Each structure stands twice: as structure tokens, then as C-alpha cells.
């Protein structure tokens, strides 16, 4: 999937400029006047014949961190949206569907979840949902990209209480390295990560060796591991979903999947 951050996060109705920010054609600019805001769009290409387009109010942040291309945009219909490497990760209006579905099933299934380790989750929404459970005493959120965490803390007010919680331990590090050095075991480990794009910062967190040698030894008895697995649509399930599911099945784990629509 080629995202609009990579090819230009904002699209004018009449074309692109070289850095991805559209500029209105001269005639159109004269008609609208300098005082009027130019209409901007975010495009995410699903395949050669399909794109998702979202009208924008503004761009709150965009740039390239040490690990990935990142942007936070304010959409007209879905509120603030986080975009990483050209793929929309979540938006204010409907992110609860993904994060509630990721967090609550494993924590409700576990008989007494007290400790949770979240790989990724830089926007803070997964931690927010985990902290809703009264039995939870500690949530470790480990994200590799400090810049993503920083601007999410600044702009996503819905998660401010989660970031301020005494139960939250925020760690800026590679999740694999952090788990490997940790002496603690966890009741629930969550993979709230970007898709495993080869060469990306999350690629090594979806491998057989990682699940077998790192994740399983860090789970308590009857512990639960859950991960996002990318889109599972008719046109998109072959991108990462099928391979992640099959990889987990090879690890002698009881493996089930759920598709959030």
C-alpha cells in the first residue's frame, strides 16, 4: 500500500506539488482570493484502482522522525487522525472501535489481569483502554518513536488522563530490546504496532523467533498475547493479515482472530 505521506500527504483538487502539498492553479487562486483557505485532502492508495480520500481542515504536524514518516491531520469528518508512513492509523471519531476491540477481549478473558505490556501504542489510546480495568495495576507502554509519542501527548486531549496516570510506565525504546532485558513477566502483552513493512521499525516484531523466544517467555502462566494484524478485507488480507495469522499458528499457541468492521 502506497500512502499519501510518501507521495504527498495533502492533495489539491487540481494537482500536486513536488513535496506533496498541493497548490491551487493560478486561475483558481485568483478566483478564490488570497484570504480563503485552500481545500486539502489526504489520500491513501489501497491499490491501483482504489483510494480513500479525506477532506482536511488543517495539518497539525508532519515530518520524518528517525524511524518513519509521520503526520497528524485534522479531518473534516473524523477529527484528528494519525498517519504513519502514508497509512492512517486512527482518527478521533472512530479509533475507539479498534482500541476497544484490541484491548478489552484479552483483558476480560484473562482471569485476573494485573500487568500489561503494550508494544507501540504511541498515541496512548491502547493504554487508556487498559487502564479502565480495575484489576490492572501496571501498564508499560513501549514505543520506539519519541516524536510520535510527543505530539500525540500534545494534541490528543482524549488520552491526557492516561498519560498522566501513576499506573502508566512510558518507555521510549525498541519493544523487543525492552522485553528481552525485562525481568518482569506480564499477564497480557499487546502488539499495537504499525504493519510489518520490510525495513520498517516494526518488522522484527512479527517474526516466529520474536514470538517464540521473546514474547512467550515474558508471559505469566495463562498469559495472553494479542496483536493487530493489518486490514483483513477481500482486497487487503494478503498484505499482512494472512502471514501474521499463519506465523502465530506455528508457535504452538492457541490462535484465534477477530475482524473489526
CA angle 50, 53, 56 (to 5 degrees): 170
Burial 90-123 (b: 16+ CB within 10 A, else e): bbbeebeebbbbbbeebbeebeebebbbbbbbbb
Is 192 designated active site? yes
Residue of 161, 192, 195, 221 marked catalytic: 192
| 105: helix, strand or coil | helix
Report phi then psi at 260, rounded to 5.
-95, 125
Hey, CA dihedral for 185, 182, 136, 196, is it positive or negative?
negative
Report phi then psi at 220, rounded to 5.
-65, 165
Catalytic residue IDs: 192
Amino acid at each position: 500500500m502506497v500512502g499519501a505521506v510518501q507521495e504527498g500527504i495533502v492533495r489539491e483538487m487540481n494537482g500536486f506539488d513536488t513535496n506533496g502539498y498541493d497548490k491551487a492553479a493560478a486561475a483558481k487562486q485568483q478566483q478564490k482570493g488570497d484570504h480563503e483557505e485552500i481545500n486539502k485532502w489526504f489520500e491513501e492508495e489501497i491499490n491501483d484502482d482504489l483510494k480513500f480520500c479525506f477532506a482536511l481542515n488543517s495539518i497539525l504536524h508532519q515530518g520524518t522522525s528517525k524511524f518513519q514518516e509521520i503526520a497528524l491531520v485534522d479531518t473534516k469528518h473524523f477529527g484528528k487522525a494519525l498517519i504513519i508512513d502514508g497509512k492512517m492509523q486512527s482518527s478521533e471519531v472512530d479509533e475507539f472501535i479498534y482500541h476497544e476491540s484490541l484491548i478489552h477481549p484479552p483483558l476480560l478473558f484473562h482471569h485476573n489481569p494485573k500487568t500489561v505490556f503494550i508494544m507501540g501504542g504511541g498515541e496512548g489510546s491502547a493504554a487508556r483502554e487498559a487502564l479502565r480495568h480495575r484489576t490492572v495495576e501496571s501498564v508499560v507502554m513501549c514505543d520506539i518513536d519519541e516524536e510520535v509519542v510527543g505530539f500525540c501527548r500534545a494534541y490528543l486531549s482524549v488520552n491526557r488522563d492516561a498519560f498522566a496516570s501513576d499506573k502508566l510506565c512510558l518507555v521510549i525504546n525498541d519493544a523487543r530490546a525492552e522485553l528481552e532485558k525485562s525481568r518482569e513477566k506480564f499477564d497480557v502483552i499487546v502488539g499495537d504496532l504499525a504493519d510489518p513493512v520490510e525495513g520498517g521499525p516494526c518488522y522484527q516484531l512479527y517474526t516466529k523467533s520474536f514470538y517464540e523466544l521473546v514474547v512467550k517467555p515474558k508471559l505469566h502462566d495463562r498469559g495472553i498475547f494479542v496483536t493487530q494484524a493489518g486490514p483483513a478485507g477481500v482486497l487487503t488480507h494478503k498484505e499482512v493479515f494472512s502471514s501474521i495469522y499463519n506465523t502465530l499458528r506455528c508457535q504452538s499457541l492457541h490462535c484465534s482472530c477477530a475482524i473489526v468492521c
